[in-house]
Structure 1
Amino acid sequence: MLGLEGLFRLILGVFEEGFIYAVMALGVYITYKILDFPDLSVDGTFPLGGAVAAILIVAGVNPLVTLFLAFLAGAFVGMLTGIIHVKFKVRDLLSGIIIMTALYSINLRIAGKSNVAIFSKESIFENSFLDKVVPEPVKFLVPIIILLLIIIIMKLLLDFYLKTKSGYLLRAVGDNEVLVTSLAKDKGAVKIIGLAIANGFAALAGCIYTQKHGFFEISIGTGAIVIGLASVIIGTSLFKKRGKVKATTAVIAGSVLYKACVSIAISFGMAASDLKLITSVLFLAILIISYERKRRVKTNA
């Protein structure tokens, strides 16, 4: 049995991991819910952000700067996915697979090796500035506060973008491509922009993950798309009928709930090595429940 302190640490850990993956899930929301684009390149752009963070921090670059550079790297890769699909007429699923496969080697090239430790380096969570301004008794709260600030900023930026002309066009492409064409707008260019933003979010999440855990490992992106999709489906399914809850907020809540389910499963005795199995079972259960709900709605209608 977990004591009060152990339970508190567990809850804190759930929120920390949930917020990190929520950044990526916001990107997956763009591709899955808005564009209806099965973008598997996320499995490559998540570790890309981690590789960029690790190599730059080792080189002495300010950890805050790595957040912006990781986002730009992910956005560039997302743009390439869009170009392959739009300009070369490669199917959406295959475009993501091509980029994801290529990124495995590219990430190794960037990092120089499959594992890069940055424990001894400054990060956005541990640095000399925080050591001076944060009292020792509350230092354990620093990561959750920083992550909360990041997720709020990214959510507000995405909400703001979706209300712009470009954001409305992005929504329109997912709902009705013919409408976008009739407005004399290039639907292909809109898709490329959407994929760039989505993969920028994924790479940013990878950058944050690497700084939080103190290392980059080439396999950190394995199954990232599944986690992102699970977060989106859980969040949007649970809060679908609550009109006052924005989709972006629902996605963040879905990410935290997903991580809570995984933590509960592990606390009940499942080994950490079973994480992928837990992820697969949870995702399958979510899909089945989601499908059943849709079927019942259609039947009742």
Structure 2
Amino acid sequence: MITALFGAVESGVIYAIMALGVYLSFRILDFPDLTVDGSFVTGAAIAAIMIVNGQNPFLATFVAVIAGFLAGCVTGLLHTKGKINPLLSGILMMIALYSINLRIMGRSNVPLLNEESFFTKIEGVWASMGLDNLFNSIGSAIGLGESLPATWSVLFSMIILTIIIKILTDMFLKTQVGLALRATGDNKRMIRSFSANTDQLTILGLGLSNALVALSGALIAQYGSFADVGMGIGMIIIGLASVIIGEAIFGTRTIAVTTFAVIGGAVIYRIVVTLALRVDFLETGDMKLITATIVVLSLIVPKMVDAQKEKSRKRKRQSERLQEATAKGEEEYAATKSDSQSI
């Protein structure tokens, strides 16, 4: 059980990068970008095929990010220059990427079982610094050393990488370009009145979004030691689930809080799925159903809670008004009685 939860947190931190990409397109740009299901696999496919051909895993991961950025830009061009509906633009690019990904891999699945990956490189760095033993010692000290896989360094490294990406995202969204990007998602007509090029901003935003998605795909492929042409199916739902769960639990007061919420939502989502799959009547094939159920609950429950709170506030206001009216009536009655007595 503990091992499963550890793995859920580990993979959740990697998927959080993808969730940040979905947050940029859906929340910041208000663009329903379904390219995610394709660009996630593109990142995985490029990283896998380059590693199999002897390329450095860091270089392979970087090239995957560039490919994801270009895929997002093409979606943006289809919408802004081709005047195609946003939803349809994403669907068209997602379909096109399926064939492109097959071309890249040459087959439907590329195993990486005996290949050097991003994570083996990272583990080697920590080992050379003598920190891998430190991580395992910490696990043993809290009584988890024998229950957990010896991948503390992987988790620690991914937490650092995800936090760095979060901070960079926060900083970017506070720049002039980032503010213009946010304004484009809120009100295109308004930002156009300030002579901003909303087409370029949309293309840039979608490019950055899919770059993060492709990075997550590349890391997941190396983490799971395989890339599969179907591994991106439903990825947009997982990203949305992470965003919705995070926003519902942690709130959206500021950009920094919201991006943290997205990361937290991704980790919580993976933990919930892991726990759900341990229920006897659920199987691995039910994962998509579990995901859909989580998203539905994440959308409905907060609204039900808000509606209940609003009813409570209305009842409280009505009660206060009734008390005020009663008190005012008593005062008027007392004043009238006093006047009649004086007469």
| TM, length-normalised to structure 2 | 0.81
Q: How many Å separate the matches in 2 of 1:248 and 1:211?
A: 25
Q: How many Å separate the matches in 1 of 2:153 and 2:224?
A: 14
| Alignment match, 2:73 | 79
| Alignment match, 2:326 | none
Q: How many Å separate the matches in 2 of 1:43 and 1:73?
A: 14
* Alpha-carbon contact 1:71-1:201 (below 8 Å) kept: yes
Q: How many Å separate the matches in 2 of 1:64 and 1:297?
A: 50
2:50 corresponds to 1:35: no
The alpha-carbon distance between structure 1 residues 65 and 113, as it changes in their structure 2 partners (threshold 3 A), is same
How far apart are 1:14 and its partner, in Å? 1.4
2:49 corresponds to 1:55: yes
How far apart are 1:146 and its partner, in Å? 1.8
Q: Which amino acid aligns with 1:147?
A: M
| Alignment match, 1:254 | 265
Mean Cα deviation higher: 106-115 or 147-156: 147-156
The alpha-carbon distance between structure 1 residues 293 and 78, as it changes in their structure 2 partners (threshold 3 A), is farther
Q: How many Å separate the matches in 2 of 1:112 and 1:243?
A: 44
Identity of aligned residues (%): 41
2:58 corresponds to 1:64: yes
Query: How many aligned positions are there?
Result: 295
Mean Cα deviation higher: 143-152 or 95-104: 143-152
Q: Which amino acid aligns with 2:226?
A: F
Structure 2 spans left out of the alignment, 5+ residues: 137-149, 315-343
Q: How many Å separate the matches in 1 of 2:166 and 2:36?
A: 18
Q: Which amino acid aligns with 1:162?
A: L
2:124 corresponds to 1:129: yes
Q: How many Å separate the matches in 2 of 1:216 and 1:244?
A: 33
How far apart are 1:67 and its partner, in Å? 2.1
Q: Which amino acid aligns with 2:242?
A: S
Q: How many Å separate the matches in 2 of 1:13 and 1:146?
A: 14
Mean Cα deviation higher: 268-277 or 252-261: 268-277
Q: How many Å separate the matches in 2 of 1:115 and 1:224?
A: 18
What is the RMSD of the two structures over their aligned residues, measured on CA atoms? 2.1
2:224 corresponds to 1:230: no
The alpha-carbon distance between structure 1 residues 298 and 198, as it changes in their structure 2 partners (threshold 3 A), is farther
| Alignment match, 2:226 | 215
Residue 298 (structure 2) aligned to one of 273, 278, 286:
286
Residue 179 (structure 2) aligned to one of 168, 173, 176:
168
| Alignment match, 2:111 | 117
Q: How many Å separate the matches in 2 of 1:88 and 1:290?
A: 38
Residue 217 (structure 2) aligned to one of 202, 206, 211:
206
How far apart are 1:257 and its partner, in Å? 0.8
- Write out aligned runs for 1:5-20 (5 A): 6-7=1-2, 9-20=3-14
Q: How many Å separate the matches in 1 of 2:44 and 2:159?
A: 19
2:139 corresponds to 1:145: no
Q: Which amino acid aligns with 1:197?
A: L
| Alignment match, 1:3 | none
Q: Which amino acid aligns with 2:63?
A: L
The structure whose Rg is larger is: 2
Q: How many Å separate the matches in 1 of 2:305 and 2:33?
A: 25
Structure 1 spans left out of the alignment, 5+ residues: 1-5
The alpha-carbon distance between structure 1 residues 290 and 95, as it changes in their structure 2 partners (threshold 3 A), is farther
* Alpha-carbon contact 1:239-1:245 (below 8 Å) kept: no
Q: How many Å separate the matches in 2 of 1:290 and 1:44?
A: 31
Mean Cα deviation higher: 84-93 or 128-137: 128-137
Q: Which amino acid aligns with 2:15?
A: Y
| Alignment match, 2:317 | none
How far apart are 1:133 and its partner, in Å? 4.5
How far apart are 1:150 and its partner, in Å? 1.5
How far apart are 1:132 and its partner, in Å? 4.5
| Secondary structure of residue in 1 paired with 2:119 | coil
